[in-house]
């Protein structure tokens, strides 16, 4: 499977041709624990299984960066298209007929960025995808995230106490931040009504 240098070359080629390209970085959730609990043989089986699944699910170029970190190059995709494709991939990985010895399902966390929206060169588009991956991990793993927006502004609102309570319980159940869930809900609202 192609490596990090091959990913950089693929990104540079698209960027040199001024062709939009998205990149998704993904990690296997809890991979270090898998190796520690079940041994490296099981870890190797997990890596091979995921690599084969990615090759089937993402006909674009898949790259093995290191350990449990993979990347998918998505030429010609908008950020939104890449996000939706990676969300489908994430769900497919979780639904994949592969369980760890303790019955846990395989899960991945994914960060997505796009040239020219998030960066102007191969290095910074990878950094933006890495920042998105870190944000997804911080938000609770087993999810897809976009690069954090540096231009966020504070907006205060009042909500019914029952809604705040339900949001808090939902966030705790998902092990995610309430603010992340609210931003996702707002993004879903904009998509529903096709707001640019």
The string of pLDDT tens digits covering residues 169-183 is: 988 888 877 877 888
Fold type of domain 4-145: Alpha-Beta Plaits (3.30.70)
Instruction: Report the distance separating Cα 125 and Cα 31, nearest Å.
Output: 25
The predicted structure's pLDDT at residue 191: 86
Domain ranges of the chain: 4-145, 161-192
Q: What is the per-residue pLDDT across 67-114, written as a single tens digit (0 to 9) for each?
A: 999 999 999 999 989 999 999 999 999 898 877 888 888 899 999 999
Rg over alpha carbons for the chain, rounded to the nearest Å, is 18
pLDDT more than 70, % of the chain: 95
Predicted model pTM: 0.74
Spell out where 1-119 has E strands. Answer: 21-28, 62-66, 69-75, 108-115
pLDDT more than 90, % of the chain: 53
pLDDT exceeds cutoff 60 at 153: no
């Amino acid at each position: 499977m192609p490596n990090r240098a091959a990913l950089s070359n693929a990104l540079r080629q698209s960027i040199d041709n001024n062709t939009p390209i998205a990149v998704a970085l993904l990690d296997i959730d809890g991979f270090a624990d898998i190796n520690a609990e079940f041994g490296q043989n099981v870890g190797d089986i997990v890596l091979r299984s995921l690599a084969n699944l990615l090759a089937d699910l993402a006909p674009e170029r898949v790259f093995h960066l290191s350990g449990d970190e993979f990347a998918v190059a998505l030429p010609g995709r908008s950020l939104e298209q890449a996000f939706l494709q990676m969300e489908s991939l994430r769900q497919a990985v979780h639904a994949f007929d592969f369980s760890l010895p303790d019955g846990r399902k395989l899960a991945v966390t994914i960060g997505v960025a796009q040239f020219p929206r998030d960066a102007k060169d191969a290095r910074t588009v990878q950094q933006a995808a890495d920042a998105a991956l870190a944000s997804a991990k911080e938000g609770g793993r087993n999810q897809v995230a976009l690069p954090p927006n540096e231009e966020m502004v504070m907006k205060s609102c009042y909500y019914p106490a029952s809604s705040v309570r339900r949001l808090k319980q939902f966030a705790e159940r998902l092990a995610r931040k309430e603010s992340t869930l609210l931003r996702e809900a707002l993004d879903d609202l904009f998509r529903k009504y096709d707001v640019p």
